[in-house]
């Protein structure tokens, strides 16, 4: 993070002030529908101003640049007509709603990639013959949102995702959606970009991309590596998102960063968007994702799958973690690698149980086929929707020779700094964890390399804390994971009861 970026606390105070300006005219869950498009408009305007400043260094003056741009919009990545820029909007005092609506529609017309993305809100809308938000309230909101610059060097890359996460958590908790379903802390996304280490020409896919944060960090990593050599083939990005609001933000983010990105709207698990002409899943070099943890899916999703994704087994209905993993694995080409953020229970649930356990049995298949390369245990209290630690699971279809038949387990539980309101991974911790993974090494109290046989002896429990203990910590099953195991056992009991009933009916020993 640079010194110019908004701190989390400053960002949240700013968004709270903005929300207070529209408190009353609309319901709290709708705050984001008006605030986020304006934040995007402000960001577009500031990034465009940065472009003009950059060009003016070559052409001598901003006036000269404006003249060139009026004749040739292709000199810049995107073009904003003068009347649509934040400076002009901030000066406007009458007919504000109509002016704003016209501005976003002009921007969408000028930049076709933003159609149905930036222009989805009518700031002049009425209900029952009255304006939903008056010009006076809109003017106050514009004044608040104009407090900070939002250029590429001023704020974190996924400022839209961070803002959405805060507004959803603060004002829309009763709407049935959790921001934690998609939002990944910035430093975790950076760490994953180092782990995936994209090469020139790589195609990277996120099947539940949210606002695009993981793809953005992978993009920035590729720019960091290859920008000095423009002859390198660019990295290309693909994402799918089920929620329209977050899909729109992913499109906005890709647009602002000039990424070669294709973002699709839809339900990945039921209707994956990226298919071959023959209707099979498209294959990618890398997959990065943070799906909703322990998501509920009906067994029919797995049983009736037309894409042959769930070949290692069906996960329980109440925890889709290993369903998502199998979708991602099926989306990798033969030399592909994936890094996915999950609940810690995904790598330990079911181990030590007597008899069969679906998650453990799927995990066993991945281990025995030598596909699991690494598991990284993250610190507690990094994620907004839970204080629980997560893990990063790395699966590699083409392990290097010196890594075959082995797994690297990294316990990064203590490599954090205290923050408000959440802990975070400092830069030195990100570098340390990435170095341990990339160099594939053991470090006392942090990492351990185990064999497949050792994983088998531990009943395929891959929790790093089991192998790399710190300060007497134990590997006790968290309550939420115990509940999932209980539900799975109940599912199995019901199936057994149904089979027994069918047998007894055939024998004439069962009466309804």
Q: How does pLDDT run along the chain (512 residues), one tens digit per residue?
A: 344 468 878 998 999 999 999 988 788 888 888 999 999 999 999 999 999 999 998 888 888 999 989 888 888 889 999 999 999 999 999 999 999 999 999 999 999 989 888 988 899 999 888 999 999 999 999 999 999 999 988 998 889 888 888 887 787 544 444 444 557 888 999 999 999 999 999 999 999 999 899 999 999 999 998 877 877 899 999 999 998 888 988 999 999 988 999 999 999 999 999 999 999 999 999 999 999 998 999 999 999 999 999 999 999 988 999 999 999 999 999 999 999 999 999 999 988 877 778 999 999 999 999 999 999 999 998 987 788 899 999 999 999 999 999 999 999 999 999 987 789 999 999 999 999 999 999 999 999 999 999 999 999 999 999 999 756 555 555 555 555 555 555 666 666 667 777 776 777 766 66
Asked if residue 343 and residue 211 are part of one domain, the reply reads: yes
Asked if residue 279 and residue 420 are part of one domain, the reply reads: yes
Asked if residue 223 and residue 191 are part of one domain, the reply reads: yes
| Residue 142 maps to a domain | yes
Total domain count, the chain: 2
| Residue 68 maps to a domain | yes
Domain end call among 105, 140, 155: 155
Asked if residue 217 and residue 144 are part of one domain, the reply reads: no
Instruction: Say if residues 370 and 397 touch (Cβ distance below 8 Å).
Output: no
Asked if residue 150 and residue 223 are part of one domain, the reply reads: no
Asked if residue 271 and residue 134 are part of one domain, the reply reads: no
Q: What is the DSSP letter of 165?
A: H
pLDDT per residue over 182-207, tens digit each? 578 889 999 999 999 999 999 999 99
Closest by CA to 213, choosing from 293, 148, 290, 326, is: 290
Asked if residue 343 and residue 242 are part of one domain, the reply reads: yes
Q: Which domain holds residue 458?
A: 179-480
| Residue 421 maps to a domain | yes
Domain end call among 102, 123, 155: 155
* Phi/psi at 65 (5° precision): -60, -45
Asked if residue 95 and residue 239 are part of one domain, the reply reads: no
Asked if residue 253 and residue 123 are part of one domain, the reply reads: no
Q: Report the helix count and the strand count for the chain, using DSSP H and E.
A: 17, 11
Instruction: Say if residues 394 and 373 touch (Cβ distance below 8 Å).
Output: yes
Q: Which residue has the tokens 């056992």?
A: 489
| Residue 309 maps to a domain | yes
Q: What angle do CA 339, 341, 342 make, to 5 degrees?
A: 130
| Residue 491 maps to a domain | no
For the record, the structure tokens of 159 come out as 């400022």
The span from the CA of 148 to the CA of 155, in Å, is 9
Q: CATH number for the domain including 374? A: 3.40.50.150
Asked if residue 289 and residue 239 are part of one domain, the reply reads: yes
Asked if residue 254 and residue 107 are part of one domain, the reply reads: no
The span from the CA of 2 to the CA of 15, in Å, is 21
406-411 and 447-451 beta bridge pairing: antiparallel
Q: CATH number for the domain including 76? A: 1.20.1260.30
| Residue 504 maps to a domain | no
Closest by CA to 117, choosing from 126, 125, 129, 105, is: 105
| Residue 360 maps to a domain | yes
Q: What is the 3-state secondary structure (H, E, C) of 423-487?
A: CECCHHHHHHHHHHHHHCCCECCCEEEEEHHHHHHCCCCCCHHHHCCCCCCCCCCCHHHHHHHHH
Listed in order, strand segments (DSSP E) in 171-244 are 203-206, 236-241
| Residue 494 maps to a domain | no
Asked if residue 108 and residue 219 are part of one domain, the reply reads: no
């Amino acid at each position: 993070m640079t010194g110019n970026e908004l701190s989390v606390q400053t960002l949240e105070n700013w968004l709270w002030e903005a929300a207070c300006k529209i408190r009353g005219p609309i319901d709290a869950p709708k705050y984001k529908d008006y605030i986020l498009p304006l934040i995007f408009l402000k960001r577009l305007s500031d990034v465009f101003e940065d472009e003009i400043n950059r060009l003016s260094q070559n052409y001598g003056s901003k006036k000269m640049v404006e003249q060139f741009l009026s004749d040739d919009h292709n000199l810049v990545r995107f073009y904003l007509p003068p009347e649509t820029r934040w400076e002009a909007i901030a000066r406007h005092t009458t007919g504000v709603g109509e002016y704003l609506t016209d501005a976003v529609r002009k921007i969408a017309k000028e930049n076709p990639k933003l159609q149905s993305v930036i222009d989805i809100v009518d700031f002049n809308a009425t209900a029952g013959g009255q304006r939903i938000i008056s010009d006076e309230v809109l003017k106050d909101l514009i004044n608040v949102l104009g407090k900070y610059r939002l250029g590429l060097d001023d704020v974190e890359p996924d400022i839209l995702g961070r803002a959405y996460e805060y507004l959803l958590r603060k004002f829309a908790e009763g709407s049935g959606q959790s921001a934690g379903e998609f939002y990944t802390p910035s430093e975790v996304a950076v760490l994953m970009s180092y782990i995936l280490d994209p090469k020139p020409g790589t195609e990277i896919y996120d099947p539940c991309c949210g606002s695009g944060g993981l793809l953005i960090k992978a993009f920035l990593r590729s720019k960091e590596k290859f920008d000095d050599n423009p002859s390198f083939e660019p990295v290309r990005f693909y994402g799918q998102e089920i929620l329209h609001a977050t899909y729109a933000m992913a499109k906005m983010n890709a647009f602002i960063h000039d990424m070669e990105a294709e973002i699709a709207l839809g339900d990945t698990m039921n209707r994956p968007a990226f298919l071959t002409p023959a209707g099979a899943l498209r294959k990618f070099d890398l997959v990065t994702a943070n799906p909703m943890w322990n998501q509920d899916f009906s067994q029919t999703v797995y049983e009736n799958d037309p894409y042959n994704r769930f070949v290692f087994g069906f996960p329980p209905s109440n925890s889709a973690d290993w369903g998502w993993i199998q979708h991602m694995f099926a989306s990798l080409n033969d030399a592909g690698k994936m890094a996915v953020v999950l609940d810690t229970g995904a790598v330990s649930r079911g181990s030590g149980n007597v008899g069969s356990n679906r998650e453990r049995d799927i995990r066993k298949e991945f281990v025995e086929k030598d596909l699991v390369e690494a598991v990284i245990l993250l610190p507690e209290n990094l994620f907004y929707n839970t204080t629980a630690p997560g893990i990063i699971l790395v699966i590699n279809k083409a392990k290097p020779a010196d890594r075959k038949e082995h797994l690297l387990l990294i316990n990064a539980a203590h490599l954090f700094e205290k923050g408000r309101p959440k802990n975070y991974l400092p830069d030195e911790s990100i570098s340390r964890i990435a170095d341990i993974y990339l160099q594939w090494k053991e470090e006392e109290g942090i990492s351990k390399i185990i064999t497949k046989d050792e994983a088998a002896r531990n009943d395929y429990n891959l929790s790093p804390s089991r192998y790399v203990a710190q300060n007497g910590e134990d590997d006790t099953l968290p309550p939420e994971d115990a509940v999932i195991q209980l539900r799975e056992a109940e599912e199995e009991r019901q199936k057994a009861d149904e089979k027994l009933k069918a047998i007894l009916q055939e024998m004439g020993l069962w009466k309804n």
